[in-house]
Structure 1
Amino acid sequence: MNCLSTPRVRTVLDRLHAAADLDEDRPHPRPDAGASAQERADLLADAYMPISARGGDLLYALVRASRPARVVEFGTSFGISTLYLAAAVADNGAGHVVTTELSAAKVTAARANLTEAGLADAVTVLAGDALATLAGEPGPIGLLLLDGWKELCLPVLRLLEDRLAPGALVVADDVSFPTMAPYLEYVRDPAAGYVSVEFPVGDGMEISCRA
C-alpha cells in the first residue's frame, strides 16, 4: 500500500509542490543579519522553502524501510515534508510524527493541509521554538528530519541526541548551504558516532545513521 498515490494525498501534494515552484520565482524579503529566528519566521511566513518531490519520496522510503515508532521533524513550514513522513507512518500501520514550526501562520496552514490529506491523526504539530518545543520530547526517536533554520540544525540534533534509538536515521536537508558546514563537520566526524553520507537530491541531503 502507498497512500502517496491516492487521490486525497496526491491532490494536496501536487497543489503544494506547484505553489512552491511558483514561490521560488517570487522575490522574498531578506531578513537583517541580526534578526532572530522568530523575526525571520514572521518575515517569511508566506515562503514555502520546501523539500523537493524527489526528497519527499526518499523520506517516504526511509520511513517505510526503518519503520520508526517515533519520527521527529524540525521545520514544518507548510507541511510538504510532513505529508511524506505521515504517509509513510500511515502505510506502516504504526508510528507517529511530531513536527515543530515557529511561524504561527504556517502551523495553521500545515494542520489544514494534513487534515485535507486525511493524515492529521498521524501527526502532532507543535508551535514555537524547536529548542523549547522538543526539549521534553520522549524517545526513542527512530528518524529525525532537520529542515528548519540551518544554523539551528546542529543544536536541535544535540538536544535530541540522547533520545535517538540505536540505528536511528538523521536526515538533514539543504546541506549545500554554507550555514550547514558546522553540522556536516559534526556528523561526518567518526567520533560523533554516526555513519554519514550525502545523497544528491535537491540542495543535498545528508543521511546519518546513529551507529
Structure 2
Amino acid sequence: MPSPIDAPPHIDALLSRLHQQSLDQEAALKAPSAAARFVSSDLTDLTPTAAEVPFDALMRDKFIALDAAKCVFTYNLLRATGATTVVEAGTSFGVSTIYLALAVARNAAAMGKEGRVIGTEKEEGKAAEARRYWRECGSEVEGVIDLRLGDLLDTLKDGFAEVDCLLLDIWTPLALPTLKLVQPKMRKGAVVLADNTLTAAEGYKELLEYLRAPNSGFTNLTLPYDGGFEMSVYSPR
C-alpha cells in the first residue's frame, strides 16, 4: 500500500519507529486493566508507583505523540487547504511536527511562497531531541520549522502573521488562552485542531464552549478518531 503522505522512505521509516515508541510508552504508563490511550486526565488511573511521580517529571521523556491516523489526516488537510503557516501548540518530541513540515514545505514549493511551522516547547531536553529527529529527516523538514522554547503564552505573542492552522496538543487549561492569543492572526478559513476532545472533554470544556458559542466565528466538527479530534474552521462574518 502506498504511503498516505508524500515523504521519502527514510522519513516514513522514522515516523513508524517514533509512533511505535509512543504507543509502547503509553501502554507502560497505564494500569494493566486500562486501555492503551493515555491523556493527562489519566493521572488518577496510573499505577501506584507512577502516580507518586510529579506530572512534569513523569512526562519528561514521554512522546505521547499525536496518533498516526490523526497526523495523516492533518497532513492531507494542510495539503488540501494550501496551508503555509502553521502553529503547533505543544511540540514535545516533534513527531507530529514532521507531518506539518512536510505538508507546509510541499505547499510552499508549489505556491512559490515561504512556508513555516511554528513549534512550541518548554522542555529543553524535548526540544533538543525533536531537533535531532528533524535533522534526520533533512532540510525539507528542518528548514521550515521555527521552534520556540519557553512559555508558549510568551513565545507566540509575535513574529508571525496570517496563520492557516493551529494545532492544539497541550495541557488542556492552556488550550483556550493559546487560541485567543493566536486567533487575531488567523486568516478567514483557518483551521483549529484539538486532540482528545472526547477523552479529555472536561479539560477542554472552556475551549469547546468558546468555539461552539453563537457568533463565535467558528464552525465545528468532532472527528471520530480515537479520543476525539476537534476540527474548527474560522469563518467570521
Structure 2, gaps ≥5 residues long: 30-45
- Tell me, which stretches of 5 or more residues in structure 1 are unaligned? 33-38
**Could you give the per-residue CA deviations for residues 30-85 of structure 1, whole angstroms, max 9, x where no partner exists?**
488xxxxxx84454111111111100001101110111231100000111110110
Q: Is the 8 A contact 1:2 1:91 kept in 2?
A: no
| Structure-2 residue corresponding to 1:148 | 170
Stretches of 4+ moved more than 3 A in 1? Answer: 1-5, 28-32, 39-43
* Residue 199 (structure 1) aligned with residue 208 (structure 2): no
Q: For 1:53-202, what aligned pairs fall within 5 Å after superposition?
A: 53-92=68-107, 93=109, 94=113, 95-118=115-138, 119-176=141-198, 177=200, 178-202=202-226
- The DSSP-based 3-state class of the residue aligned with 2:208 is helix
Amino acid at match of 1:170: V
Q: TM-score, normalised by structure 2?
A: 0.81
Post-superposition shift, 1:10? Answer: 0.7
Give the root-mean-square deviation of aligned CA atoms.
2.0
Find the residue that maps to 1:208 and give its secondary structure: strand
Q: TM-score by structure 1 length?
A: 0.90
What is the number of equivalent residue pairs in this alignment? 205
| CA deviation after TM superposition for structure 1 residue 3, in Å | 5.8
Q: 1:166 to 1:179 in 2, by over 3 A?
A: same
User: In percent, how many aligned pairs have the same letter?
Assistant: 34
Q: Cα 1:3–1:58, aligned 2, differ >3 Å: closer, same or farther?
A: closer
Residue type matched to 2:116 in 1?
H
